[in-house]
Amino acid sequence: MMENHDPIFEQVIDVLVDSFDLPRDKIRRESRLYEELDLDSLDAIDLAVQLKQLTGIRLREEDLQHIRTVEDVIQIIVSSREKNPTGAPQAQSED
């Protein structure tokens, strides 16, 4: 349901604008992070760190490999929150 995703979308926009100096009006759910927003792999790691600080959700390396769009980021956050609805920090596996 989209109503739960709007605040997450706004948080992701805030991170992209603040961390990467992207124009807010250019960021859409379907925006491709690498091709359209010109992020690179190091930016993706920085994005993951920023989102962890903001949401408490740690994006795993395999999550980062599958992220292509802003909507992908939102879906990973939503999925992580559904698995851990209390918002408590998730245990980190020893890979």
pLDDT (tens, 9 = 90+) of the chain, 95 residues, equals: 444 579 999 999 999 999 999 999 999 999 999 999 999 989 988 998 988 888 888 887 787 888 999 999 999 888 888 777 655 544 444 44
* Long-range own/partner contacts, residues 28-35 (CB < 8 A, 24 or more apart): 28/70, 29/69, 29/70, 29/71, 29/74, 30/69, 30/70, 30/71, 31/69, 31/70, 32/68, 32/69, 33/67, 33/68, 33/69, 33/70, 33/73, 34/68
Residue whose pair of structure tokens reads 């930016």 in the numeric block: 43
Residue type, position 29, single letter: R
Q: Which pLDDT score is estimated for 95?
A: 45
Q: pTM for the whole thing?
A: 0.78
